[in-house]
């Protein structure tokens, strides 16, 4: 793992940190590849129950794709398709992590950084944060996956404003339109996020992962038409698990359950 992206695991919480503060934590081509690898690793690490994604320092979550890469990796249609496969692969891998993911956002959350935050389950922002996807200033288009996430969060009206104005919005406006879940003072955000993550660690892993799966099914198929047998049975799957029996016993015995994800 390069030092441009740091990974720390502690007490059931994994923290991914973009570590290029001199570049506002912009992510280069190899960084997207590394992020995809890390997301895949965390997806199968049973000791990790919650994933926090953040940027080094207080000035930027991530300014998105590193434009310095474009001369080598994103200069025409052919190279742009290759770059998109790597970029989409990283964001899709983050979205697919079968455990709660939280973006801890300070400062700039722009372009690909903003799109990345939308691939996490929760987005908690400091009051110094700013958001935007100013791709119209570069004559660049966002892809279908990123557009889907943006529309699901803020709706077409706000999505149009974000994309077509090219403007940045502050944390208060991001909260108003649904781009983030919470806004906190800069000095309070680290404690708040990690307190929340610690509360999530002992919760049932099967409930967390399967809620994410059910949610994606509903978002992609709101009418619930043509569900597979497996999809129809999923809301009932936990009743046959060892963790359900543990949860029942713990409730009756007035103790904290010890879930193992099985």
For residues 255-262, average pLDDT? 89
Whether 116 and 16 map to the same domain: the answer is yes
How confident is the model at residue 165, as a pLDDT?
96
pLDDT at 171 over 90: yes
Whether 188 and 225 map to the same domain: the answer is no
pLDDT at 17 over 80: yes
| Number of domains forming the structure of the chain | 2
In Å, what is the CA distance from 194 to each residue of 38, 51, 103?
20, 10, 11
How confident is the model at residue 74, as a pLDDT?
87
H or E segment to which residue 131 belongs: strand 130-132
pLDDT at 1 over 50: no
How confident is the model at residue 71, as a pLDDT?
86
Domain span at 106 = 5-200
For residues 133-146, average pLDDT? 95
Model confidence pLDDT, tens digit, residues 203-233: 999 999 999 999 999 999 999 999 999 999 9
Residue 93 neighbours by CB under 8 Å, 6+ apart: 35, 36, 39, 40, 43
Q: Write down the mean pLDDT value for the chain.
A: 95
The predicted model scores a pTM of 0.94
Q: Which of 97, 74, 72 is nearest to 87 (CA)?
A: 74
Whether 196 and 209 map to the same domain: the answer is no
Query: What is d(CA 95, CA 90) in angstroms, rounded to the nearest whole number?
Result: 9
Contact by Cβ (8 Å): 114, 96? no
- List the structure tokens of 126: 């400091």
Whether 15 and 135 map to the same domain: the answer is yes
pLDDT at 2 over 60: no
Give 183's strand partners. 125
Whether 142 and 221 map to the same domain: the answer is no
């Amino acid at each position: 793992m390069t030092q441009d992206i740091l990974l720390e695991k502690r007490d059931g919480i994994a923290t991914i940190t973009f570590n290029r503060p001199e570049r506002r934590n912009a992510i280069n081509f190899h960084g997207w590849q590394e992020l995809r690898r890390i997301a895949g690793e965390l997806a199968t690490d049973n000791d990790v129950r919650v994933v926090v994604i953040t940027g080094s320092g207080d000035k930027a979550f991530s300014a998105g794709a590193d434009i310095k890469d474009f001369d080598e990796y994103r200069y025409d249609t052919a190279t742009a398709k290759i770059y998109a496969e790597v970029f989409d692969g990283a964001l899709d891998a983050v979205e697919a992590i079968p455990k709660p993911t939280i973006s801890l956002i300070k400062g700039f959350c722009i372009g690909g950084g903003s799109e990345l935050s939308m691939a996490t389950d929760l987005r908690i922002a400091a009051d110094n944060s700013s958001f935007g996807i100013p791709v119209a200033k570069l004559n660049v288009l966002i892809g279908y996956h990123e557009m889907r996430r943006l529309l699901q969060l803020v709706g077409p009206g706000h999505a149009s404003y974000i994309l077509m104005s090219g403007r940045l919005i502050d944390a208060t406006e991001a909260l108003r339109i649904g781009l983030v879940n919470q806004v906190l003072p800069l000095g309070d955000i680290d404690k708040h996020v990690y307190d929340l993550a610690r509360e999530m660690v002992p919760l049932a892993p099967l409930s967390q992962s399967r809620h994410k799966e059910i949610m994606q099914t509903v978002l992609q198929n709101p009418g619930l038409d043509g569900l597979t047998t497996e999809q129809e049975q999923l809301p009932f799957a936990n009743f046959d698990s060892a963790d359900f029996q543990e949860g029942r016993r713990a409730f009756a015995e007035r103790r904290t359950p010890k879930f193992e994800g099985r």
